[in-house]
Amino acid sequence: MSKTIFRELLDKEASPALGCTEPMMFALGGAIARKYAPGTVKRVDMVGCGLMVTGVQAVGIPKTGGKNGAFLSSAVGIINGDAEACKEVLHNIKPEDVLAAEELIKNAEFTLEMDNSTGKQVYFKLTLTTDEHTATVIFEDEHHTWTYLEADGEVIVDNRRPDGEMLIPGNDIDWDEFTIENIYNWCKTADISEFGKAKEAVAMNTIIATDGIENPRGIQTARILLQNVENGFVAGDEITHILAWATAGADARMGGSDYPTMVSTASGNQGAMVVMGPWASAQYRKMSEEDGYRAVAFALLMNTYMKYASKEYVYMPPTCSCATTSAPASAAGVAFLHGLTPEQINDMLCTTQVQMAGVVCDGAKPSCAFRMFVALFGALEAMMMAEQGIRATNVEGFVHDELKITLENLYRLQHDVLHNKVDAILWDIVKEQKTIH
């Protein structure tokens, strides 16, 4: 593996997306199916794994004024989704399209069911039936990757993996090369031209974070924090500045912001936190833009490092990766700016797993931002502890001296205890609360 692997991973795992991954995927499925099934829509039947069908219920859909739900997500995709734009499928949606989508939901039959039988952490199937045609599209492993497409009984694409077999990008990584120390050294020494993706991420995620601070989006975690700085209840220090700017993008995105996000390893929430935490720190400390971009790149690569260690759960684990990986990765970027060594960063990241181990993902929703806020605060405390040589040790639960083995210990929890079980319980709760739409 050459040193260019770090640049390759930045380019691969950081890309723009409009809206939360679940409504984006539902809309993209509708847009793709519509290309192959013109005519009057009669039925839209959707099936997905647990976190897909629950996560789409509460999070805001871009370009709809903050409305939500599986039915509306797929319907706006059918009405005017841009299938060629992939993760930005909703960029063309206008108010009249939302009205047409709501009318479509009234006039056609929409169904949604959970199916965990494939064993995949990301699975979604949409079948569109019109008075003339039928089309089916299936997504697997990644929210934007459709592996099966069928129209009127003719199979057009079939790249499906067998049930139970999932995409594991970490298997293709040389872990002797992909280490905290090597990531750190590359981010410190590589030519600044290597960090264009970090610069692009800062520009994009600053806009959506600003939206979350200036407007009442989602649960308003960051906005309320800054209001309390103004009234004197909270100090306007560096940690507060980091917490606000790192959380605001998730507030906005979960609230249906119309601005795209630079994602980190398939998650826009994580991209917002991972990028804006170190960038806010650099801005507060009046450091150079180059220092900020290097720290952002380090945080993005550390998020990928931790998520790749999740093996098949890399893109959608049963635990909350927004808390267990992106918050620590964001804090690692801050630690990079504060001059912590790779060994100290390893220690702080091991300590961060103490507070969030076993915190399950119960779907995308506005309160994700609050959970991320709590996790980031703890991660920043772990950074301060590591500066003093204090860390959680290998006699403390899941924690090992090395971060990678700590994450492998947590993987066992995900694989042997939580896999598919959390989803099933959550889906039952959603049905009991009659919130499926």
The answer for residues whose C-beta is within 8 angstroms of residue 330's C-beta and 6 or more apart is 242, 246, 273, 274, 275, 276, 277, 278, 299, 303, 376, 379
> How many other C-beta atoms can be found within 10 angstroms of the C-beta atom of residue 404?
19
* Spatial separation of the C-alpha atoms in residues 22 and 43, rounded to whole Å: 20
Model pTM above 0.85 = yes
Record the tokens describing residue 258, joined without a space: 């119309």
Per-residue pLDDT of the chain (437 residues; tens, 9 = 90+): 445 899 999 999 999 999 999 999 999 999 999 999 999 999 999 999 998 999 999 999 999 999 999 999 999 999 999 999 999 999 999 999 999 999 999 999 999 999 989 888 899 999 999 999 999 999 999 999 999 999 999 999 999 988 878 889 999 999 999 999 999 999 999 999 999 999 999 999 999 999 999 999 999 999 999 999 999 999 999 999 999 999 999 999 999 999 999 999 999 999 999 999 999 999 999 999 999 999 999 999 999 999 999 999 999 999 999 999 999 999 999 999 999 999 999 999 999 998 888 899 998 999 999 999 999 999 999 999 999 999 999 999 999 999 999 999 999 999 999 988 888 898 899 889 877 88
Residues forming a β-bridge with 123: 140
Q: How far is CA 387 from CA 240, 335, 343, in A?
A: 19, 9, 10
Residue where the block lists tokens 């601005």 = 259
Give the other-Cβ count within 10 Å of 360's Cβ.
Answer: 17
State whether residue 146 is helix, strand or coil.
strand
